Structure 1
Amino acid sequence: MFEEASEVFDNMFKSSFPLTFIVFIPAVLILVSPLPAEAAHEFTVYRMQQYDLQGQPYGTRNAILNTEARTVEAEVLSRRCVIMRLADFSYDKYQKALRQSAGAVVITLPKNMSAMPQDIVQQFMELEPEMLATETIVPVYFAMEDDELLSIYTQTLTSSSSQGSLSAAEVLLHTATANGFQMVTSGAQSKAVNDWAITSLEGRLAGVGGEDLPTIVIVSHYDSFGVAPWLSYGADSNGSGRTHAGYNLLFFVSGGGKFNYQGTKRWLEENLDHTDSSLLQDNVAFVLCLDTLGNGDSMHLHVSKPPKEGTPQYSLLKELETVVNSQYPEVKFSMVHKKINLADDMLAWEHERFGIRRLPAFTLSHLASHRLAERSSIMDSRPHVDVNKLSRNTKVVAEALARVIYNLTEKGAPGDLQIFTEQMQVQEEQLSAVVDWLTAQPRAAQLLDKDSSVVSTLEYHLGRYLKDVKRHYVKADKRDPEFVFYDQLKQTMNAYRVKPAIFDLLLAVCIAAYLGVMYLAILNFGVLYSVVRRITQPKAKVYFSVAV
């Protein structure tokens, strides 16, 4: 192809000069333009949370992006897509983009999150609640880094950083000649999802004596939460919160846990307000909520009201202390007392939902405070869970519950008596497989409908060990919705290599000048031809005769 083109150009050069000049320049511009494959890059982006809770909007309110890329180092960010890497992210830089009315913010995350320095990970986890605290009009996206995206960031960073150190003329020239990237999303504007159902699961094990026995309720929520729903895997929160006798055991796996425990709230209303027969109405010994138990060497029993001596709640507290002190001395166990603050928009722990309805309840977690960032972060991925510690904590809960259910302390059983041994011991391989499965897909409440494989699989496994397994659905009230979810949480973004607008202006001026010259050349073709011929015509040879 190139050989044929060279022959055409050679013939053109041998012909008249104006024709060569007219055709050659556009041909060169076409040949030197980048190939389509080199001029665009397509990648997946995950939008920040967008939801309403109790009428209060949270997260980003926009999903459309079509603007030129810049990094935060650029002086002007207005109506630009600001690209930030997680390694360089800070709240001040993020706020700078918002204050300057940036067109969008794209935060790139490394594929191997566990390789990131822990101080950077911890810093970002602490900033996530701040990012979600109030709504923002600016669309905010997250993307996983690849070679092409890193190249786009590097080129954009070079362009953004150089502008501040150049003179006005240099900036103008650089702007006209540099390459840029136009970031465009393929989706539409986000809208509210109507009739979304949050699903919870219930199952029970009856003790000897049936309905007349007191009931112990074991509760754990299965959904996860983070600044971006599609990146919320919830390895430790709450992928690690999942064991006949003189008590009935009632198990409840709640949905909407990260949205003020909407599944638990509706379940309590159904059992306490809208039915005459329920295990929750008769004699509840206590409610034990499990949350974030996959790491750490400490266990905290969070209570809204300290248990009184002689109550089943107090017995569980003492049995937990006994098991930890006698069998796992490396674990630090403590009780954390925090009153329920009804003025807060969000409850601190799930047991507070039961405490509001005057049911004795507490939450067991390795976290000392509900405000710690590990509970609601996209950084809570599979490497964040230590299966050995999760197995140990599972055994602590099982041993303590068994000692309460069978009243082993009053029967004289020693504190170091281990019930779950041999065939009944915790299977770490099976536990690891469960955690792997739970963290293989994001479990944000906006992504888990009633047909979700997560819900169906949890229901199947509960049905293998429990009786009367049933589903409970929660839909927001149409007139005064407690929660509203939005779509467009995952989109495809394209980065197109483009020239800036000033380049288009400069190119238009050059084309106009070029056409003007061609127009004048055609009008005065005779004069131009005479001049060209006079220049190109060979000089006549002059002969002198010499007389001899």
Structure 2
Amino acid sequence: MFEEASEVFDNMFKTSFPLTFIVFIPAVLILVSPLPADAAHEFTVYRMQQYDLQGQPYGTRNAILNTEARSVEAEVLSRRCVIMRLVDFSYEKYQKALRQSAGAVVIILPKNMSTMPQDIVQQFMELEPEMLATETIVPVYFALEDEELLSIYTQTLTSSPTQGSSTAAEGVHVLDRAHSRSKKYLSGRLAGVGGEDLPTIVLVAHYDAFGVAPWLSYGADSNGSGVSMLLELARLFSRLYTYKRTHAGYNLLFFVSGGGKFNYQGTKRWLEDNLDHTDSSLLQDNVAFVLCLDTLGNGDGLHLHVSKPPKEGTPQHALLRELESVVASQYPELKFSMVHKKINLADDTLAWEHERFGIRRLPAFTLSHLPSHRLAERSSIMDVRSVSPSSRHGAGLPPAGPHVDLRKLSRNTKVVAEALARVIYNLTEKGVPEDLQIFTEQMQVQEEQLSSVVDWLTAQPRAAQLLDKDSSVVSTLEHQLGRYLKDVKRHYVKADKRDPEFVFYDQLKQQMNAYRVKPAIFDLLLAFCIAAYLGVMYLAIQNFGLLYSVIRKVTQPKAKTH
């Protein structure tokens, strides 16, 4: 049967060119149509933050993307996916894409962001809060640069001015509210000796990180440094409280909170549980002061942020005095100052964690190397620990963005430990010299321990949306605190489903597909050709008799004349 069919087609092609053309064109279209798209590439993208806090929406509100790609230099960006690299990023270009109702924005980041020039890093960190300040309908994604993605970007950049062959980006996702995800906090204590009604010193640090994209938020300095310092202080004072001779008359309470970047929700719920429910309270005793540790891994200064200056003769004033004396006598190169800022309840978010305690009338401070809460270093995806500052210095490059300098973190930890010890053991009143160092030899601060904790914390993103109840971060912190403290407990904080204070959204990490395709004008031209062909075929069928007679006349051989 197949042999007969092949003979028929062979004879048809040899004897009739118009018939050959009519059959050949559809065959070519059928064979060519299923060919795969050229230059297809699948890559991971990270969506910009999307959350509601106190009823106010923040970040991008959409995740649907199936558009043609263009660089930001193109004249028309409407319903296009705008691709730009971090080195070319600016707020003006970003706003241009939003004003022209772009279909989406994809910002390509280098794999190792800590190697970027300082001016570019600083500029982007300052723009992150601006990008999150209001809700954005346009989907905004971040992608890590690789060779294929860079090649696609180069092709898009080349084709944008000419509107030639372009790139189509596709990634359709379904958003879902995830407000039921719980925040956690951990607490443990070292009990003092000498009676039941002992003053309590509370040491606090929040463990979550924040940035414009949750899956890129590692928080090395903010607040990996604060958590590592708290664990090291727990280790040092647990050893002091082991021996009767050095067992002080203060209770030490260590508290690690979640939701710190979302208006300190974990701290708020912990205070409600321990101040409003007297049956299981840890704070009904005499609280000497609360010291919050936040962003302490760098800098040439220490700043004690207070909402109310401490009065002379109080434990709070004693801590301030001891911090000043330890810095002046043991680390004269370090600058220390007290920064006074009143709590502004009209603001949407609190400035520092100690303000949560101040609202409940508990004496509290925040110690940080940052002089202001508004600095971009506290909430940036540039706060990573992939390249050490010493490596950049050896390469002749300045430090890029926030980072953790282990020497300075170790120094700051020792300053806090020495000042706390002088307060707890009342060493100044006993006439102990200010330059006498307590934590030396076997009791000294271990820089390796601090380094291992920071490395572990920055090995994974710690955005609050990503840390569920089974998170290894919380489990490991609980284990570490349990090595040094007693009565370590884990508590969960869930948002009220009826009137939640915070609402998180998922689908923050997805796969995106990019294809190199022909421009839209090519599709229009192809459609016109197909329509014309079908029109010709329709007319040929309707007038087949006339067409057949014409073909017979053309193809019939002329009779020979003698």
CA offsets 1:44-82 (integer angstroms, 9 cap, x no match) = 111111111111111111122222212222222222221
Distance 1:427 1:213 in 2: 30
CA offsets 1:307-352 (integer angstroms, 9 cap, x no match) = 1121111111121112222222221111111111111111000001
Report the alpha carbon displacement of residue 408 of structure 1 after superposing the two structures with TM: 1.6
CA offsets 1:377-432 (integer angstroms, 9 cap, x no match) = 1111xx82112211111111111111111112222222222222222222222221
Change (3 A) 1:16 1:429: farther
Change (3 A) 1:499 1:164: closer
Q: Are the counterparts in 1 of residues 69 and 169 from structure 2 also a CA contact under 8 Å?
A: no
Change (3 A) 1:184 1:285: closer
Report the alpha carbon displacement of residue 118 of structure 1 after superposing the two structures with TM: 1.1
Q: Are the counterparts in 1 of residues 167 and 516 from structure 2 also a CA contact under 8 Å?
A: no
Distance 1:286 1:29 in 2: 79
Q: Are the counterparts in 2 of residues 62 and 190 from structure 1 also a CA contact under 8 Å?
A: no
Paired residue for 2:98?
Answer: 98
Distance 2:168 2:459 in 1: 52
CA offsets 1:241-277 (integer angstroms, 9 cap, x no match) = 0993121000110110011101111111111111146
Distance 2:216 2:37 in 1: 29
Report the alpha carbon displacement of residue 372 of structure 1 after superposing the two structures with TM: 0.1
Distance 2:474 2:169 in 1: 62
| Structure 1: 5+ residue stretches without partners | 171-182, 192-200, 544-548
Distance 2:470 2:2 in 1: 58
Report the alpha carbon displacement of residue 127 of structure 1 after superposing the two structures with TM: 0.7
CA offsets 1:264-312 (integer angstroms, 9 cap, x no match) = 1111111111114634222111100000011111111111111112111
Change (3 A) 1:6 1:402: farther
Report the alpha carbon displacement of residue 370 of structure 1 after superposing the two structures with TM: 0.1
Distance 2:179 2:250 in 1: 52
Report the alpha carbon displacement of residue 507 of structure 1 after superposing the two structures with TM: 0.4
After TM superposition, the score normalised by the length of structure 2 is 0.82
> Counterparts of 1:122-521 in structure 2 under 5 Å?
122-162=122-162, 201-209=186-194, 211-241=196-226, 244-276=247-279, 278-380=281-383, 384-517=403-536
Change (3 A) 1:484 1:187: closer
Change (3 A) 1:167 1:341: closer
Structure 2 SS opposite 1:440: coil
Report the alpha carbon displacement of residue 526 of structure 1 after superposing the two structures with TM: 9.8
After TM superposition, the score normalised by the length of structure 1 is 0.84
| Structure 2: 5+ residue stretches without partners | 227-244, 384-401
Distance 2:5 2:129 in 1: 61
Change (3 A) 1:48 1:394: same
Change (3 A) 1:476 1:188: closer
Moved more, 456-465 or 388-397: 388-397
Change (3 A) 1:10 1:237: farther
Report the alpha carbon displacement of residue 433 of structure 1 after superposing the two structures with TM: 1.4
Structure 1 SS opposite 2:201: strand
CA offsets 1:58-117 (integer angstroms, 9 cap, x no match) = 111112222221222222222222112111111111111111222211111111112211
Distance 2:132 2:431 in 1: 52
CA offsets 1:489-519 (integer angstroms, 9 cap, x no match) = 1111112333333322210111233344556
Q: Are the counterparts in 1 of residues 169 and 514 from structure 2 also a CA contact under 8 Å?
A: no
Report the alpha carbon displacement of residue 538 of structure 1 after superposing the two structures with TM: 12
Distance 2:504 2:167 in 1: 49
Q: Are the counterparts in 2 of residues 223 and 443 from structure 1 also a CA contact under 8 Å?
A: yes
Change (3 A) 1:211 1:537: farther
Distance 1:268 1:437 in 2: 29
Distance 1:129 1:436 in 2: 26
Change (3 A) 1:113 1:525: same
Change (3 A) 1:523 1:64: closer
Change (3 A) 1:23 1:150: farther
